[in-house]
């Protein structure tokens, strides 16, 4: 090992030397103990150093800008899920490496995180509006509001910092909270809309407490929207959970409600056309098993249940009329003392709609109003100010802007796949894509996209579950997304599509409800099994999935940089293995180099390219490059730097160039 010549020795080697042989030992030890690194004696009597296990999650959550070499080495090893032994100062040997994604938690870490969340959940509060009376001036109230928000923010910041808890990027803007305060103050019923796939992630318990603090006559309702994404069994399980925990809830689906409205319109239009009229009538009578809508002969029974707002409807999905009925059933009561004072009951019932961005508030309102009065978006954060809308002369809706409540989260990846953090603003995608890979079965992804996933064999260190990269590469290849320059499958671009498909429910996964203390947790695979039985899905869902299938070579029009465009539907055929060039290259091609038609149309054919493509095809079956060297290193139990590829000759530029071109083959980096 070559030691740094400078007086101020730096680097990992120096850190280790100092630690072992004394020079600056005190400071090194201080550094090590500060980081909870612990020295252990191995079986062979050698000493090695490792981070404490509980350190891992803390290190992951902290924003690290600068670290000493030893600290950096220790935490990087921890993040990479590797352990190591330092047999000699200059011989750090990797003894274990698995496919752990450093942005995700292991099952044990996750369990511990959830336990911790439970313990601290009482501290997740929403800010209170300060008390004021007639004598309070506007300026005084504003100053009080600002102070109240500051105290609240400080409390949450402390909770994050001292208890090592990751939180949702909760709303910090006073103006938005003011809107919420006003909506709550006005409303007789505060409806918290949540996403049925993970209702508890979107529920603020403290908001319900706050509503009651303002006026005990006000009521709370948890409206579990997007219920069309759940099977009957899943809704039953969640209904049981809500009932057991005394949560006033109803299932709703703005999507189904919209379909029903459209079917009704169709029926109207089809008057006189008997054939069409019959078809729409069929659509209106839905099977309860299929999407939760009641059969027509149960209307009276359902209406009787609705008249009693406290009576649970279990897994039933309300339609818009039922929801409106429920709103009316919550018209404000007049307290006996008010009546004695001659106060008339209020004429209007005000319903406040609150919830995270993207849970479907606008869609719910649209469905209720039966026409497009509020614009609906797939990007979180569209509704900016609260609006009031009359549903009928008796019911006024107050639509609050979507806002993120303080809540705990296990990882940032979890927030991305829940649609809380906008996908297009993320740079790190392996964590969220890793969650998709873990949750949605391989066969389902293959069927939905019409691709074949190539996984690392178990004998070579694979886990039997695809990695984020394996899914993204397959997707990118099938869509023809490749990086500029080396022409590798563009995983980052593929991730944006795949993650959007998860958020919009094409790649569906539903969280099971927590079980009671002492009970076995629900098996997630069993809970979701029916969602992936592609031949037995409701027709609506099969149609939705058909739109996600790629399975045919991408055309330049498909590859155009429009991320919001839907994946073009196409019948399945084997995906192309030819690398597709990026947009700039294609433009170059049509402008200067390329042929306008023929098999290579839309591809850049630079004069030197043919020979490399030829070589690439011959070498295609053998893995090359870094991955190959890593595999060999793992097999032999040596450091990757000790392995050289068959063609690698340092300082020989020509060869480097060839290697670069060979990697142009999209299959190269797969196994």
Ligand X SMILES: Nc1nc2c(ncn2[C@@H]2O[C@H](COP(=O)(O)OP(=O)(O)OP(=O)(O)O)[C@@H](O)[C@H]2O)c(=O)[nH]1
Site of interaction with ligand X (CB under 6 A): 225-226, 228-229, 253-255, 355, 357-363, 376-378, 380-383, 402, 504-505
- For residue 425, the minimal CB distance to ligand X (Å) is 14
DSSP 2-39: PPP-SSS--SHHHHHHHHHH-TTHHHHHHHHHHTTEEE
Contacts of residue 410, Cβ cutoff 8 Å, sequence gap at least 6: 105, 110, 113, 114, 166
Q: How far is CA 605 from CA 250, 490, 610, 648, 663, in A?
A: 60, 20, 7, 27, 17
Q: Are 589 and 603 in contact (CB under 8 A)?
A: yes
Residue 51: name the closest of 38, 68, 34, 69 by CA: 38
Residue 255 or 286: the one with the smaller Cβ distance to ligand X is: 255
- For residue 404, the minimal CB distance to ligand X (Å) is 10
Residue 82 or 504: the one with the smaller Cβ distance to ligand X is: 504
For residue 598 the two structure tokens come to: 């023929």
- For residue 356, the minimal CB distance to ligand X (Å) is 7
Residue 109: name the closest of 83, 81, 132 by CA: 81
Rounded CA separation 417/437 (Å): 12
- For residue 6, the minimal CB distance to ligand X (Å) is 55
- For residue 393, the minimal CB distance to ligand X (Å) is 25
Rounded CA separation 370/279 (Å): 21
DSSP 167: B
Residue 346 or 384: the one with the smaller Cβ distance to ligand X is: 384
Q: How far is CA 663 from CA 114, 549, 605, 615, 619, in A?
A: 43, 28, 17, 10, 10
Angle subtended at Cα 232 by Cα 231 and Cα 233, rounded to the nearest 5 degrees: 90
Residue 229 or 435: the one with the smaller Cβ distance to ligand X is: 229
Rounded CA separation 124/202 (Å): 13
Residue 234 or 358: the one with the smaller Cβ distance to ligand X is: 358
The burial class, CB within 10 Å (0-12 / 13-18 / 19+), for 50 is middle
Residue 360 or 551: the one with the smaller Cβ distance to ligand X is: 360
Q: How far apart are the first and last CA of the chain?
A: 33
- For residue 391, the minimal CB distance to ligand X (Å) is 16
Residue 156 or 359: the one with the smaller Cβ distance to ligand X is: 359
Residue 105 or 548: the one with the smaller Cβ distance to ligand X is: 548
Computed from CA positions of residues 20, 21, 23, 25, in that sequence, does the dihedral angle turn out positive or negative? positive
CA atoms within 13 A on the CB side of 346: 17
Residue 179 or 383: the one with the smaller Cβ distance to ligand X is: 383
Residue 266 or 376: the one with the smaller Cβ distance to ligand X is: 376
Residue 23: name the closest of 43, 2, 3 by CA: 3
- For residue 253, the minimal CB distance to ligand X (Å) is 4
With CB atoms as reference, the residue minimizing the distance to ligand X is 402
- For residue 582, the minimal CB distance to ligand X (Å) is 29
Residue 362 or 467: the one with the smaller Cβ distance to ligand X is: 362
- For residue 196, the minimal CB distance to ligand X (Å) is 8
In this structure, the number of other CB atoms found within 10 A of the CB of residue 259 comes to 19
- For residue 177, the minimal CB distance to ligand X (Å) is 15
For residue 390 the two structure tokens come to: 């009359």
- For residue 189, the minimal CB distance to ligand X (Å) is 18
DSSP 131-160: P--TT--HHHHHHHHHHHHHHHHHHHHHHH
Rounded CA separation 373/365 (Å): 8
């Amino acid at each position: 090992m070559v030691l740094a010549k400078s007086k101020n020795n730096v680097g990992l080697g120096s850190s280790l030397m100092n630690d072992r042989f004394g020079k600056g030992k005190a400071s090194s030890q201080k550094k090590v103990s500060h980081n909870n690194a612990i020295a252990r004696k191995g079986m062979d009597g050698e000493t090695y150093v490792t981070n404490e296990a509980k350190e891992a999650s803390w290190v992951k959550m902290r924003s690290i800008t600068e670290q000493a070499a030893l600290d950096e080495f220790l935490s990087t090893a921890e993040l990479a899920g590797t352990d190591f032994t330092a047999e000699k100062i200059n011989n750090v040997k990797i003894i274990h490496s698995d496919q752990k994604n450093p942005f995700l938690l292991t099952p044990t870490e996750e369990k511990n995180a959830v336990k911790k969340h439970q313990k601290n959940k009482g501290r997740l509060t929403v800010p209170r509006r300060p008390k004021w009376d007639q004598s309070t001036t506007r300026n005084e109230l504003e100053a009080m509001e600002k102070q109240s928000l500051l105290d609240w923010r400080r409390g949450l910041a402390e909770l994050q910092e001292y208890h090592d808890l990751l939180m949702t990027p909760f709303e910090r803007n006073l103006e938005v909270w003011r809107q919420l305060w006003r909506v709550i103050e006005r409303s007789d019923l505060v409806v918290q809309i949540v996403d049925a796939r993970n209702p508890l992630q979107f529920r603020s318990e403290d908001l319900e407490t706050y509503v009651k603090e303002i006026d005990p006559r006000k009521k709370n309702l948890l409206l579990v929207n997007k219920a069309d994404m759940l099977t009957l069994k899943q809704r039953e399980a969640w209904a049981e959970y809500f009932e057991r925990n005394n949560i006033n809830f109803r299932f709703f689906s703005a999507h189904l409600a919209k379909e029903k409205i459209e079917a009704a319109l169709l029926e109207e239009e089809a008057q006189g056309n008997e054939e069409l009229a019959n078809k729409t009538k069929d659509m209106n009578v839905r099977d309860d098993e299929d999407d939760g809508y009641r059969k027509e002969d149960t209307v009276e029974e359902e209406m009787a249940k609705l008249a009693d707002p406290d009576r649970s409807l279990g897994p039933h999905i309300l339609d818009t009329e039922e929801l409106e009925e429920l709103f009316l059933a919550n018209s404000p009561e007049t307290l006996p003392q008010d009546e004695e004072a001659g106060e008339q009951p209020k004429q209007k019932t005000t319903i406040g709609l609150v919830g995270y961005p993207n849970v479907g508030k606008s869609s719910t309102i649209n469905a209720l109003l039966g026409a497009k009065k509020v614009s609906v978006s797939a990007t979180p954060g569209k509704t900016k100010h609260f609006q009031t809308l009359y549903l009928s002369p008796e019911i006024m809706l107050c639509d609050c802007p979507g806002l993120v409540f303080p809540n705990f989260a296990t990882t940032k990846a979890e927030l991305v796949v829940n649609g809380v953090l906008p996908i297009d603003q993320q740079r790190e995608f392996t964590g969220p894509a890793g969650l998709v890979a873990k949750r949605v079965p391989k066969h389902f992804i293959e069927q939905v996209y019409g691709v074949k996933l190539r996984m690392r064999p178990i004998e070579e260190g694979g886990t039997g579950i695809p990695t984020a990269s394996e899914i993204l590469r397959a997707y990118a290849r099938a869509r023809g997304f490749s990086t500029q320059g080396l022409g590798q499958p563009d995983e980052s671009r593929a991730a944006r599509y795949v993650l959007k498909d998860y958020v919009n429910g094409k790649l569906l996964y539903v969280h099971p409800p927590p079980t009671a203390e002492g009970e076995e947790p629900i098996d997630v695979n069993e809970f979701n099994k029916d969602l992936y039985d592609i031949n037995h899905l409701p027709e609506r869902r099969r149609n939705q999935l058909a739109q996600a299938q790629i399975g045919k070579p991408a055309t330049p029009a498909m590859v155009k940089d429009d991320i919001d465009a839907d994946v073009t539907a196409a019948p399945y055929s084997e995906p192309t293995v030819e690398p597709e060039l990026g947009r700039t290259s294609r433009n170059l091609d049509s402008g200067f180099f390329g042929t306008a038609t023929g098999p290579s149309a839309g591809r850049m054919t630079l004069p030197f390219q043919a020979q490399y493509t030829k070589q690439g095809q011959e070498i295609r079956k053998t893995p090359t490059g870094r991955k190959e060297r890593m595999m060999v290193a793992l097999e032999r139990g040596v450091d990757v730097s000790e392995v050289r590829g068959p063609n690698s000759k340092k300082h020989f530029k020509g060869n480097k160039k060839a290697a670069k071109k060979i990697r142009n083959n999209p299959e190269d980096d797969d196994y």
